[in-house]
Chains A and B, each alone.
Chain A
Amino acid sequence: MTLAIAIPAGQAEARNAWWRHVSSRTAIYAFLTLFALLYLLPLFVVIANSFRPLPEITRYGLIWWPQHLRLGAWAEAWSSTCVAGTCAGVQRNFYNSLLMTVPATVISTLLGALNGYILSKWRFRGSEVLFACMTLGVFMPPQIALLPWAYILGTLSLTNSVAGLILIHVVQGISFATLFCRNYYVAIPDDLIKAARIDGAGFWRIFHRIILPLSPPILIVTVIWQFTGIWNDYIIGMAFTSGREQPITAVLVALATAGQQAAPFDVASSAVLIAALPPLLIYFIGGKYFVRGLTQGAIK
């Protein structure tokens, strides 16, 4: 719906209306363009500076059009820059993030789907209350969990390990994934399940033949959100791992903000991009699902 009416037909009245229309359109596009530039500025700065030679950055500042291009900063960021004592670049941390995020995402999503299926189609006494309790996990602040996790990881000898991080993110992710999947599965008509049971199908058969085929939309949304959330997490990674075991988002802050020992701008920009690229790529490719998760999640 629009409030700007296009009214042609050659008359003085018509021409006035046309001018008003054109000027309001121009104002709208100017406004949007201005904001778009503001939004894109940080991205531009990071991308441009990862390709600019350091002397140029020092001379012209961060916000300037690149005059020379250099690919070396990427290689340095990846394999030779120094962070927390070691000078082996961020590749180890990138792999840590991958090793942490992918399993945690997959496991929590699958569990979420299974739990969602059970809580929506196989309810039992008290299941609604238990679901509400599980959902509370979505809103828990990480601060409540810091000490207990420290204790648990210590007991299980999982401190400073990717496996420990996976455990944390899976447990915390179950609440979120279950919430999403259960709300989605509730919309699948119960009559489908009843018909299947009359046909003799049991729990697993129904899951495999009826629920899963209908699930791709919600599974994609859940995977995207989980991946983004886990990859972009800072506090868990920072609190429970250090140095070479850290995920890249955690190590990035140390790399970029260590005052005098901070990595130079070109290397730091490349590191930022390496850290930010996976979720950004997922966003640009799967944008529609990203938004869907947004609207669904917030409404709950």
Chain B
Amino acid sequence: MATLTIKGVHKRFGPVEVLKGIDIEARDGEFIALVGPSGCGKSTLLAMIAGLESVTSGQIFIDERLVNAVAPKDRDIAMVFQSYALYPTMTARQNITFGMESRGVPRKDQDEQVARVAGLLQIEPLLGRKPGQLSGGQRQRVAMGRALVRNPKLFLFDEPLSNLDAKLRVDMRAEIKKLHQRVGKTTIYVTHDQVEAMTLASRIAVMHQGSVQQFDIPKRVYAHPANMFVAGFMGSPSMNFLDGRLAARDGGALCVEIPLANGAVAALPLARPPASAPADGRVVLGIRPEHLYRYDAELKAKKPALARLTAPVELVEPTGAETVANLRIGDREVVGRFDPDGAPELGEQLDLGIDMTPACLFDPGSQKLIPDAA
């Protein structure tokens, strides 16, 4: 049983407060991703979980045990660093056994553990080499082997894939996921890449400027972002934000009015009524690029909440699997992901369909999500 509980943790460096009250927890075997832009405090939080940084106030419990004052080596954790931090003057095998040697583990047990871990990660042929003779992906695996061999309660990863090239990153991501499925240890994974967070984690903590913006399963973080920061950070290309105003149409149905270029106003009917509305009716409508379509009747039949308007196409970027297009609605540029067949063309006045079912409403003042009426 290996759980992690972080209660009310603050961290201050001199006058600067980098963590402003963090409350998250990880259940046994969970894969928690701490994701956010640089400077949001995620690496500092990880260092505090590891015991490499002190806690200014608040508590950290590993398996119900308060570990604020416990040294890193006694916390039963293992860590994989962004730069791998392999000891350059030692072979891969020595790197893996260094911790065990420091703890006085007998040689026979050391060899057993190395064999176990090397088999798991398929690094047997690399054991005799020094880090300088290994490729990036190989070094990554040796670093993971060093962590695995400790059989820790908690696995900590600090942006382990940032130093790899794109293709390798995708491969290693899959390996980490497979490893977690096999080994099942509670893992805290720090990354600035939201794709990594989405694909790997069972729960994501999105962090910004020292606080957790949202802590939930990936699906909900993606589909029901707590605020505009989370909405804009998760997903690529990011969610489109349009300023508008709530208005009632005949029949009492609410819609969002978006000003268009020529002074006209587009009324986009909401799929569900919001729980509350700001006093002046101003809202921000959030729509993800994949929910934009070329309007046709067939689609409308399948998606009754499809709103319709016309928008000029300003930029077209075909990527092969889809076509990304920039459209202009009002004074905003809106990005959409379209099927390559029948994709919008440059200069076209596109008959645009917006699926309002997954669309989000945000309060422009607090930037928070306006939830649906119960």
Given a CB threshold of 8 Å, the question of whether A touches B is answered with yes
Interface residues in chain A, defined as those with a beta carbon under 8 Å from any beta carbon in chain B: 5-9, 11, 13-14, 17
The answer, among B51, B52, B68, for a CB contact under 8 Å with A14, is B68
Complex: how many Å from CA A7 to CA B50? 13
Q: In chain B, residues 43-58, which have Cβ atoms closer than 8 Å to a Cβ of chain A?
A: 51-52, 54-55
Complex: how many Å from CA A93 to CA B212? 73
Let me know if B70 is at the binding interface, CB within 8 A: yes
Q: Assess whether B68 is in contact with A5, with CB atoms less than 8 Å apart.
A: no
Q: Assess whether B71 is in contact with A17, with CB atoms less than 8 Å apart.
A: yes
Q: Which of chain B's residues have a CB closer than 8 A to the CB of A5? A: 51-52, 54, 71
Complex: how many Å from CA A14 to CA B54? 11
Q: Which of chain A's residues have a CB closer than 8 A to the CB of B68? A: 7, 9, 11, 14
Q: Which of chain B's residues have a CB closer than 8 A to the CB of A14? A: 68-69
- If over half of B's interface residues share one DSSP class (helix, strand or loop), that class is named, otherwise mixed; here it is loop
Q: Which of chain B's residues have a CB closer than 8 A to the CB of A9? A: 54-55, 68-69
Q: Which of chain B's residues have a CB closer than 8 A to the CB of A6? A: 54
Could you give 23 example pairs across A and B, Cβ below 8 Å? A5-B51, A5-B52, A5-B54, A5-B71, A6-B54, A7-B54, A7-B68, A7-B69, A7-B71, A8-B54, A9-B54, A9-B55, A9-B68, A9-B69, A11-B66, A11-B68, A11-B69, A13-B69, A13-B70, A14-B68, A14-B69, A17-B69, A17-B71
Residue of B nearest to A9 (CB): B68
Q: Which of chain A's residues have a CB closer than 8 A to the CB of B52? A: 5
Complex: how many Å from CA A5 to CA B47? 12
> Other CB < 8 Å A-B pairs besides A5-B54, A11-B69, A13-B69, 20 of them?
A5-B51, A5-B52, A5-B71, A6-B54, A7-B54, A7-B68, A7-B69, A7-B71, A8-B54, A9-B54, A9-B55, A9-B68, A9-B69, A11-B66, A11-B68, A13-B70, A14-B68, A14-B69, A17-B69, A17-B71
Complex: how many Å from CA A5 to CA B66? 17
Complex: how many Å from CA A193 to CA B366? 55
Interface residues in chain B, defined as those with a beta carbon under 8 Å from any beta carbon in chain A: 51-52, 54-55, 66, 68-71
- Looking at the assembled complex, report how far the CB atom of B158 sits from the nearest CB atom of chain A, in whole angstroms: 16
Q: Which of chain A's residues have a CB closer than 8 A to the CB of B71? A: 5, 7, 17
> Which 10 A/B pairs are nearest by Cβ-Cβ distance?
A14-B69, A13-B69, A9-B68, A7-B69, A7-B54, A11-B69, A9-B69, A17-B69, A6-B54, A8-B54
Residue of B nearest to A15 (CB): B69
- Looking at the assembled complex, report how far the CB atom of A2 sits from the nearest CB atom of chain B, in whole angstroms: 11
Complex: how many Å from CA A265 to CA B72? 58
Q: Which of chain A's residues have a CB closer than 8 A to the CB of B70? A: 13
- Looking at the assembled complex, report how far the CB atom of B57 sits from the nearest CB atom of chain A, in whole angstroms: 8
Q: Which of chain A's residues have a CB closer than 8 A to the CB of B51? A: 5
Complex: how many Å from CA A7 to CA B71? 9
Residue of B nearest to A13 (CB): B69
Residue of A nearest to B72 (CB): A5
- Looking at the assembled complex, report how far the CB atom of B48 sits from the nearest CB atom of chain A, in whole angstroms: 11
Complex: how many Å from CA A13 to CA B70? 7
- Looking at the assembled complex, report how far the CB atom of A140 sits from the nearest CB atom of chain B, in whole angstroms: 35
Complex: how many Å from CA A9 to CA B67? 10
Complex: how many Å from CA A17 to CA B72? 12
Q: Which of chain B's residues have a CB closer than 8 A to the CB of A13? A: 69-70
Residue of B nearest to A12 (CB): B69
Complex: how many Å from CA A235 to CA B185? 71
* Residue in A6, A13, A14, A17 with the greatest tally of chain B CB atoms within 10 Å: A13
Residue of B nearest to A18 (CB): B69
Complex: how many Å from CA A11 to CA B66? 10
Complex: how many Å from CA A17 to CA B71? 9
Residue of A nearest to B66 (CB): A11
- Looking at the assembled complex, report how far the CB atom of A25 sits from the nearest CB atom of chain B, in whole angstroms: 15
- Looking at the assembled complex, report how far the CB atom of A16 sits from the nearest CB atom of chain B, in whole angstroms: 8
Complex: how many Å from CA A8 to CA B54? 7
Residue of B nearest to A16 (CB): B69
Complex: how many Å from CA A9 to CA B71? 13
Q: Which of chain B's residues have a CB closer than 8 A to the CB of A7? A: 54, 68-69, 71
Q: Which of chain B's residues have a CB closer than 8 A to the CB of A11? A: 66, 68-69
- Looking at the assembled complex, report how far the CB atom of B34 sits from the nearest CB atom of chain A, in whole angstroms: 22
* Residue in A6, A9, A11 with the greatest tally of chain B CB atoms within 10 Å: A9
